Chain A
Amino acid sequence: MAAIFSKRNVVIGLIVLAALFPYVARNDYYLHVLTLAFIWMIAVYGLNLLAGFTGYLSLAHAGFFAIGAYALGLLTVKAEMGFWPAFLLAPVITTGIGFLVGIIALRTKEHFFAIYTLCVGYIIYLVIDKWEGLTGGVRGLIGIPAPADIGPISLSTPIAQYYFVLTILLLVILVIYRIIHSLTGKTFIAIRNSEDLALSLGISTIKNKLLSFVLSTFFAGVAGALYASFIRFIGPDIGNLNITFDLLVYMIVGGIGTLSGPIVGTLLIVWLSQNLQFLQDYRMLIFGPLLTLIVIFSPRGIVGFIAGWFTNWKLRRKVNINQAQEQAEEV
């Protein structure tokens, strides 16, 4: 049984499932919800790289998501730039601002860092909300173009957009996977574990923390740009703290510091939200306790819980501890 569920097969299976989904579901609404969930996942991956693997919890993430979205919106609508140049430039702009914020924010640690970034996030929101001349203020920005055709391939139908976003998501996951499993990722993890130890091992914590921060804003920017081109209308609310907290919930429920946590958490919460829509804001009565339970009983979320269970199961079967741990680390 273990052979069928090897990591490789699971990954291939999931990709096939995602690729077939539009034909199985045959429902534009579900397609819309899932495409949006993919976009959130990209943002959550960015947050997870910083908070989960480097140990710095940024509460400005929705702010950077909004910067990516507004960058794309403003470049296409106001500067009348073509879609693709704008789509490439938006994450670059986000990353540039992320770099500047990071230099200052990373002078702080732990809860001070969280509070500082909370303020930064709110300032970004305020700027978007109040700077009507540029952003359109509360009225928002309308008429953002969908992704332009690539040669003969049209990206204007819901199915095409679904595949487009899925492709970007898979790329993001690949990049994150490689970062985590390389010397760069090990460096981040060393910093998360103990900055003093990392320093005394010759790791430049300043440089590496900034790298992780900038990367996290890059992924937020990509997600934001995708969001703007998918929804085609943006308002200041996307930079609101609510969004940061949504992303946090996706990450924590799925499993902070795990590779598949962002997928699991986002899918689960989005699915729950859909099914509990009739409860309106009372949904929080379910999410609140759920989150609390997870934080108490499985700090590494659902994925951490399953990985731990899987490790034990393997141990009980007296399989080499080594392999079990590897599996647990890599899910």
Chain B
Amino acid sequence: MLETRKLTKQFGGLVAVKDVDFSLEHGKINAIIGPNGAGKSTFFNVVSGLYRPTSGQVIYKGKDISKLPANKVAELGIARTFQTTHLFEMATVFDNVVVGHRLRTQSNLLDSIFRTKRLKQEEEKCKEKALEVLKFVGLSKSVDRMVTNISQEEKKRVAFALALATDPEIVFLDEPTAGINPDETAELSQLMEKMAQQGITICLIEHKMQMIMKLAEKIMVLNYGEKIAEGTPDEINHNEEVIKAYLGGSASA
């Protein structure tokens, strides 16, 4: 459904992502792992349209989307979260999430000024969507709390909810469990499984190996921007290059 062909992103002289061929397992949980600075987030940024690739392509449903701006990519059903949640801390959880469905609405300035029927209907639609996804991620009780006052784990859930509010087919999650304790990590893993059960394709970046090995069905390993391995958790576990990259790969390079 979504694949990259020889995807490359260069920053000046630095090649952050190099000739990466990768395809997502439809409806499954996919994972990208790799040492710090391997180019994982950059890969996400290119796929989601935030960066233009230097060369190569991103193919979605048979179409090259690598030149589309991020908002168009989102419209096609590709959502994402960020490594650091970009939430608006001084607003409620609900207010943060309600704008997530905006891309599925048509109301313009005049609708807003004259409060047309369309605007009212669409605002209702956005509200319902927000409540629905907040329920899905288990935050029904925190709808009206300020984001500053909720825990790190809850913030991650809000970020999930925001991505889900866009009605995505694929969700890219950049280190969804960074800075979160093991118990909470397990709970977030469950949430990701629940998303996959809903038919959403997931692709996440993670450093927590144990969790990834249990959760993912397909893993890609990046090192210095290059794909060094790809396969099932079992295959990755026994891959020579991966072991090398993780145990002092930087010393040998």
Contacts and interface: CB of A to CB of B under 8 A. Distances in A.
10 contacts: A179-B109, A182-B111, A183-B123, A184-B111, A184-B112, A193-B88, A199-B69, A200-B71, A202-B74, A320-B144
B66 interface: no
B63 interface: no
A312 interface: no
B112 A200 contact: no
A46 B144 CA distance: 30
B105 A199 contact: no
Interface residues of B, number: 42
Contact of A182 (B69, B123, B146): B123
Interface of A: 175, 178-179, 182-187, 189-190, 193-194, 196-205, 211, 215, 320-322, 325, 329
A202 B80 contact: no
Interface stretch (B92-100, B187-195, B211-219): B92-100
A196 B69 CA distance: 11
B42 to A, nearest CB: 13
A185 B95 CA distance: 12
Contacts of B162: 197, 201
A-B complex: 4 closest residue pairs judged by Cβ atoms: A202-B103, A202-B74, A182-B112, A194-B86
A184 B106 CA distance: 10
B71 A204 contact: yes
A43 to B, nearest CB: 19
Contacts of A211: 109
A182 B102 contact: no
Interface of B: 48-50, 69-72, 74-75, 79-80, 82, 86-88, 91-92, 95, 98-100, 102-105, 107-109, 111-113, 115, 119, 122-123, 126, 144-146, 162, 165-166
Contacts of A198: 99
Contacts of A201: 71, 74, 79, 99-100, 102-103, 162, 165-166
Contacts of A200: 48, 50, 70-71, 74, 79-80, 82
A37 B123 CA distance: 35
A199 B107 CA distance: 18
B50 A203 contact: no
Contacts of B92: 322, 325
Contacts of B98: 186
A234 B229 CA distance: 72
A203 B144 CA distance: 24
Nearest to B76: A202
A202 B71 contact: yes
